[in-house]
Copies of this chain bind each other. A is one copy, B any other.
């Protein structure tokens, strides 16, 4: 199965791919399970057997769901470096010391498969350059949208199209939380607790709920789509931790759904990247993506809109992307990776006064009446397309408005003069509109 002869050391030494693993957590375990369950398919495609020769772990005594021979485990990176691996699979996460490890392995001529979006978003420009100089593959399909092969599609099959925009739901944890908040009318805190118990959210959920994870993935998508990205500090990033059940309910009653949308757009002045809670009409394809699913929508000038959906995280979907990447690169000759660039000072994130937005207001003061608010907005030249008003037993006004022309100044006046809490969200139109 692994070659034309079966009788010797030589055949074996050329018939084996020596894989090293950095990290053996959820995804690492999934990678080992996948390599084992699919070993026949892999061997027949590659003409070689895949062998895990070394795995860097924090604790070599820990009980694990997958068995690896004790001699394979190490807590010392130098053991990995000395192990003569052909390919390293990096699933330990983080930037330090991960970057130094990956760098040292590339310098030894080792191919890299990584699922680490933070590493790529923070040090990707250097890693791409380093991999090119050492003529090794750098593969990272697993870093964006789990098992959805979106990066491969962009690199291979959508290179003739001009891509004007890419937007998606790139974080499964926050999508799960928003879905449950709407379906079960629960508060953010209640659902977060559920998600943590189910293993959908980390004990420290900030990377997910504050939008960092989605931002790293968006940064990578922008590199592939536009050949450049923005410095992370210039990404307009907002999380979901301050969303309330009231906002979600009124949005729903108006026929909309709030999603954490990551979006990269090409504008006249450069690219603009944003991750923020966004209102979508229920007819929008991204509004249909529920629970922990991910989706990426691309707009090509020839092909039109394409949508790719799948599980964006978890042991096996991510492991699938890692192992598919690993097998693919082993069948490809080295070709230089297109350079990654960062361009500062792209498009200003000025408010488009012509854009529609959803504005949620809440308050009790004497000026907090729908009539007064509407009168103020009319005099200010703000158009109100739809309005949904609720009063609870305590006399608290809660209202959702779909508006055109509402600016931060208007919001400030609603706060100061009407005693209202105000939260505005951008609104994505339906694809059909």
Contacts and interface: CB of A to CB of B under 8 A. Distances in A.
Contact of A41 (B160, B328, B432): B160
Looking at A45, A157, A307, A316, the one whose CB has the most chain B CB atoms below 10 A away is A157
A161 B38 contact: yes
Interface stretch (A184-192, A318-326, A371-379, A404-412): A318-326
Nearest to A41: B160
A240 to B, nearest CB: 22
A288 to B, nearest CB: 5
Given A38-B161, A45-B159, A156-B328, A307 B306 contact: no
Interface residues of A, number: 45
Given A147-B300, A303-B317, A41 B162 contact: yes
Contacts of A146: 303
A364 B324 CA distance: 59
Contact of A157 (B41, B45, B149): B149
A343 to B, nearest CB: 19
A217 B319 CA distance: 30
A102 to B, nearest CB: 23
Q: Which 10 A-B pairs have the closest CB atoms?
A: A147-B303, A149-B157, A303-B320, A302-B320, A307-B309, A306-B310, A152-B157, A304-B311, A38-B160, A160-B324
Interface of A: 34, 37-38, 41-42, 45, 141, 146-149, 152-153, 156-162, 285, 288, 291, 300-311, 316-317, 319-321, 323-324, 327-328, 432
26 contacts: A34-B302, A41-B160, A146-B303, A147-B304, A147-B306, A149-B157, A149-B158, A153-B153, A156-B156, A156-B328, A157-B324, A158-B324, A159-B324, A160-B320, A160-B323, A161-B320, A288-B288, A291-B432, A302-B316, A303-B320, A303-B321, A304-B311, A304-B316, A305-B310, A307-B308, A307-B310
